[in-house]
Structure 1
């Protein structure tokens, strides 16, 4: 399975991941504030359509490894707050919410044979190259951390992984590889 994100012509970024964990366990990492804070951001969600979403991104807290923030993100060193609204939720199947009002994030889960499938789509993004590369590298990094957490492993520092993936996505785009 290709772990790289895909970019649609409309600026949609999508990922597919497989986990050996049960759907219920993966779902808990999407909705439980403590578990969500281990791989994405701390905060809170009112888990019903129209419910509020408040995510506080503190990337340095996603791993115990020392990991300096890149210069271009120094303005976010103290964190970044994202607010949105739950659009749709189906227990252990679908979570959809606005992302700072401009875009929409969807998580879909389902079980096949021995694996839980997670489909992530982020729609309504600006179609410029830098945005799409950063969003792909960001989600890819967060999903790697989720995978590590589900396997009870300590994840690598967010920024070191993000920087590597940002360069890889840039190279893939420069080589004409469809993102």
Structure 2
């Protein structure tokens, strides 16, 4: 399994990670605001289809280094808010979100969890991406956020979010064909 995401359809990215279990622990990192804030974004989540969710990203604070957003992302480095809603929630196996505006035009993110011995396979599928540029940015974002999640689950110091994001964004530029 590659740590890199792959384009599985014209508008869809899929990324997989084999992470320390058990599945219930990893589920908490998806649905509990305090746990999710450690690797992605805070926001109170109600485990019910149709429920709203506001994600509050503070990417500059995800790692211990003095990590600052590169110029093109400076406007979202300190804080960015994303209004989402729950499409489907089947604890502890699947969580699907309308990612962004809730008028039906949002992209969608599906988190799927499957036990693999004492580990858990996490599959993140982000669909309805409307451009190559968006897919590259999203791929680098998920790659970097999941790297921080993995470090936290393993009790390690997480990598620098923005340094990793910058590095893998350049790689995804090459990896994701036109």
TM-score range, shorter chain: over 0.9
1:26-45 alignment, distance < 5 Å: 26-45=26-45
Q: Decide which moves more: 86-95 or 109-118.
A: 109-118
Residue 115 (structure 1) shift: 2.1
Query: 1: CA distance between counterparts of 2:24 and 2:9?
Result: 33
After superposition, residues 1-179 of structure 1 pair within 5 angstroms as: 1-101=1-101, 102-126=106-130, 128-173=131-176
SS of 2:38 mapped into structure 1: helix
* Greater alpha carbon shift after TM alignment, 130-139 vs 6-15: 6-15
Residues 60 and 157 of structure 1 are in contact (CA less than 8 Å); yes or no, is this contact kept in structure 2?
no
Separation in 1, partners of 2:143, 2:117:
24
CA distance in 2, matches of 1:172, 1:7: 9
- For structure 1, the 5+ residue unaligned runs are none
Q: Structure 2 stretches of 5 or more lacking a match?
A: none
The alignment's TM-score, normalised by the length of structure 1, stands at 0.92
Structure 1 segments of 4 or more deviating over 6 A?
A: none
> In structure 2, how many angstroms separate the alpha carbons of the residues matched to 1:69 and 1:170?
19
Alpha-carbon offset, residue 10 of structure 1 = 2.7
Deviation for aligned residue 1:117: 0.8
Q: CA deviation at 1:114?
A: 3.3
Query: How much does 1:78 deviate?
Result: 3.3
TM-score for both structures, normalised by structure 2: 0.92
